[in-house]
């Protein structure tokens, strides 16, 4: 049976269409896209999979906006769906670091793949995708290259504040002093990693560590995490669809097939 998972986040909507142990299609749509409406997003994913609504079985919705998916058979939390999706792409996963647009979470799994503990940061923007986007705008640097630029810095300019508002003030001060963009970006990425590691320190972390969410595409953040953790982290082929994949797997469970 063809099933669907949809993750309606604060920044993106992602969809996975799944059947017979395979991902038939997957997509990620920005919130500024007219296609990010859940109905339209599912239609696009079904079309990419060569299916239509009549062939679609259960759908499970997750993400902050999951209540807006009125055609879903049920809803599930981000923690459950991120864990389930991460286990499918990396069966050896024991820790999931999910770095989203407005929040981050760290999830510990046992040897059977069950969630044993988790922590979430949704009180402060620091460490989130939106924080990095705002810093990229402030520094007039494309989001897609800011991680690469940070890795080019020979010297790291410290951004010491753990608060997004105060960090922005520090960055403005550095810019006015003529500090090079690469150096500031290196400091910003280190500060982001610090914020994420604050969460990591509150749970039991074991490899394999899987990093998901849009921020997982930032090479500087991933490198900082690997350096500080002391071992490599595992990146899914498309880290932004892991939650939707987990939701689709739950939908498959619901279908009994």
CB-CB contact of 18 with 248 (8 Å):
yes
Query: d(Cα 245, Cα 119) in Å, to the nearest integer?
Result: 21
- Residues 151-210: tens digit of each pLDDT: 999 999 988 766 777 788 889 999 999 999 999 999 999 988 988 998 999 998 999 999
- Whose structure tokens read 């993400």? 63
Answer yes or no: same fold for 1-90+237-257 and 94-235. Answer: yes
Q: Looking at domain 1-90+237-257, which CATH architecture does it have?
A: 2-Layer Sandwich (3.30)
Q: What is the mean pLDDT of residues 92-119?
A: 93
pLDDT at 71 over 80: yes
Burial class (CB in 10 A: 0-12, 13-18, 19+), 179: middle
For the domain spanning 94-235, the CATH number is 3.30.420.40
- DSSP annotation of 71 reads T
Indicate the domain borders of the chain: 1-90+237-257, 94-235
The dihedral of CA 232, 234, 240, 246: what is its sign?
A: negative
- Residues 1-46: tens digit of each pLDDT: 999 999 999 889 999 999 999 999 999 998 777 677 999 999 999 9
In this prediction, residue 127 carries a pLDDT of: 64
């Amino acid at each position: 049976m063809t099933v669907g998972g949809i993750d309606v986040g604060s920044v993106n909507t992602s969809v996975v269409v799944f059947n017979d142990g395979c991902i038939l299609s997957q997509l990620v749509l920005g919130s500024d896209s007219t296609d990010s409406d859940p109905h339209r997003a599912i239609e696009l994913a079904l079309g990419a999979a060569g299916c239509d609504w009549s062939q679609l079985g259960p759908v499970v919705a997750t993400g902050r906006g999951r209540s807006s998916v009125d055609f879903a058979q049920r809803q599930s939390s981000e923690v459950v769906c991120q864990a389930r999706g991460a286990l499918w792409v990396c069966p050896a996963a024991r820790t999931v670091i999910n770095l989203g647009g407005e929040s981050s979470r760290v999830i510990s799994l046992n040897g059977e793949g069950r969630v044993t503990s988790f922590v979430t940061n949704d009180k402060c923007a620091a460490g989130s995708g939106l924080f990095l986007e705002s810093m990229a705008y402030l520094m007039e640097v494309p989001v897609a290259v800011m991680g690469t630029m940070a890795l080019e810095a020979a010297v790291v300019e410290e951004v010491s504040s753990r608060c997004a508002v105060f960090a922005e003030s520090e960055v403005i001060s550095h810019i006015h002093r003529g500090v090079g963009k690469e150096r500031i970006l290196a400091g910003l990425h280190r500060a982001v990693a610090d914020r994420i590691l604050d969460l990591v320190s509150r749970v039991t972390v074991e490899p394999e560590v899987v990093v998901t969410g849009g921020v997982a595409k930032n090479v500087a953040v991933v490198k900082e995490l690997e350096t500080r953790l002391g071992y490599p982290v595992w990146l899914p082929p498309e880290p932004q669809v892991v939650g939707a994949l987990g939701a689709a797997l739950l939908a498959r469970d619901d279908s009994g097939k």
